[in-house]
Amino acid sequence: MYTLGVDLGGTNISVGVVDEKLDIVGRGVVKTRAGRPAAEIFASIKEACGLAVQDAGIAMEDVQSIGVGTPGSVNKENGFIEFANNLGFRQVPAKEMLEALLQKPVYLDNDANCAALGEALAGAGKGTQSFVAVTLGTGVGSGIVINNKIVTGVNDAAGEMGHMVVCIDGLPCNCGRRGCWEKYASAPALIDQTKEAMEIHKDSKLWEIAGGSLDNVDGRTSFDAWRAGDKAGVYVVERYMHYLAVGLGNIINALQPEVICIGGGIGNEGENLLKPLRELVKNERYSIYARVQTRLVPAVLGNDAGIIGAAALTE
């Protein structure tokens, strides 16, 4: 039997047919066109599921269940997507609606949790008993997996590492707090830090790399300047890594997981990011004299992590 994993994103709905070995054997993708009513977006999920099943060369009768990773908060007890701002969802009875549409058992969870579960089961955390995934993208996504189960907490909202405060009375976050890790360690945060440095250092190589315009700055700009030895680029990257290390140190001190994997757009820097980061984290962890330490590793599944994790969801 097969399961379907649905990665419901703000831009695309990506579906994979996943076999018992956790390999993706068929795929389907359609545009989300966020802002539409939930019923229309769910109809697009059905369309993408059909494309994935067709691509795998199987029938829907061969599918045992369907897991959906969605942005926002999920109440797994009643199957509601309680809030997903980039989809315009508030208190949507997603499980009931999707099961009526797809005629299969449907399981829901937050997309970052699904990505963490996918990496834990089939990627960077395979074989571990305690694992945390951190995704450095538009925000700072994260998920905690213990004994191959997502840690959801009393209200299914556990694991929001991006919203722990790393700077008291710091930058305002869209969650309502100030100084959240997300405001210092996400891709938009790095872009803002790069632009700030460019405004101060008009002779920096950052300007050349960005084609002379602040509008062209992205998550790679400062790293490219850092590799070129540009002083402003080095300052931006080293400060950014310090913010990352503070948050990772907090995770280690609180949970002491076997492995933390780093993914997302900035995570694509791989060892260029992780090698110096490991040294910085040494100064942030309480367990400095422990024989066994948390390992920092790159995520390996990319966008497939969310699909595999969603496909593995159960009650």
Q: Check: CB of residue 220 under 8 Å from CB of residue 185.
A: no
Spatial distance between the Cα atoms of 139 and 158, rounded to a whole number of angstroms: 16
Q: What is the third-level CATH fold of 126-298?
A: Nucleotidyltransferase; domain 5 (3.30.420)
Fold observed for domain 2-119+304-311: Nucleotidyltransferase; domain 5 (3.30.420)
Q: How far is Cα 13 from Cα 7, in angstroms, rounded to an integer?
A: 6
> End-to-end distance of the chain based on CA atoms, in angstroms?
18
Beta bridge partners of 144: 132
What is the rounded CA–CA span in Å between residue 219 and residue 194? Answer: 9
Residue 84: the pLDDT is: 87
What are the structural domain ranges in the chain? 2-119+304-311, 126-298
Q: Tell me which residues of the chain have a pLDDT lower than 50.
A: none
Residue 10 confidence (pLDDT): 86
The reply to whether 2-119+304-311 and 126-298 are identical in fold is yes
Q: What is the pTM of this model?
A: 0.90
